[in-house]
Amino acid sequence: MEFIQHLETWTKTDVNQGKFMVAIAILIVLPVCLLLFKTHHTFQKGMLIPLGVLFLLNMGYGSYLLISKPKYVAQTKNRFQLDQQKTIENEWVKVKADDKSYTITKDLWAGLFVLSVVFFVCTKEYFQGLSLGFSLMFAGMFLIDFFLHRNLKFYLQVLSVDILAYAEVLYINYKELLSLCRKKQETDLYFTVILTVIFYTFTTMINKI
């Protein structure tokens, strides 16, 4: 079945995004944070805290994807070997829940980004830098969830196809089983009639004797 192939493809895309997140954190966000730490400008100092949080989030969540995704694939493969139907059904429920979660978090990051821009316009100096830093942080979080959600949506589509295919296989197997049962009933009926005729003939012969 193609379920495992689709699972591995989705996992590979998330692992690649985890690598990208860690690379961005180390190569871009961290140097910027170091420069902001050394600066004496109040505006730039305000950006340090949210960008530092963005660095930690990229490192933490990116590392989590790199570690947890391969383990999840291995566990799912083991469960699939034991019970294919239940594994696919559980995966469907999980992916649908994740899809809903990503939709909520993307809306949340977008709303907080707009709020940060409003604060940037209304404040000055340190708090203006703080608002700009938070707007960058929320934009970064939105992009992370956007790409993860895009990967999940594709997996959800192919998983729907897998479920339909599996249901079709079950239906075909059910029809074959039903056909065999009917054939068996017809065969049993045929032998019953033959035995009845033989018994009646034998009884008639005995009575004549």
Residue ranges covered by each domain of the chain = 3-159
Structure tokens at 76: 């799912």
Q: Is the pLDDT of residue 178 over 70?
A: no
- What's the pTM value of the predicted model, to 2 decimals? 0.76
Mean pLDDT value across the chain: 81
CA distances from 119 to 46, 128, 156 (A): 13, 7, 38
What's the rounded Cα separation, in Å, for the pair 207 and 201?
Answer: 10
Model confidence band, residue 179 (pLDDT cutoffs 50, 70, 90): low
> Residue 187, class by beta-carbon neighbours within 10 Å (0-12 exposed, 13-18 middle, 19+ buried)?
exposed
What's the rounded Cα separation, in Å, for the pair 101 and 202?
Answer: 77
Q: Is the pLDDT of residue 146 over 90?
A: yes
**Of 8-22, 44-58, 104-118, 161-175, where does mean pLDDT reach its minimum?**
161-175
Give 77-117 pLDDT, tens digit per residue.
999 898 888 888 888 889 999 999 999 999 999 999 999 99
Model confidence band, residue 167 (pLDDT cutoffs 50, 70, 90): low
Q: Is the pLDDT of residue 171 over 60?
A: no
What's the rounded Cα separation, in Å, for the pair 75 and 84?
Answer: 13
What's the rounded Cα separation, in Å, for the pair 100 and 201?
Answer: 74
**Of 56-60, 88-92, 122-126, 161-165, where does mean pLDDT reach its minimum?**
161-165
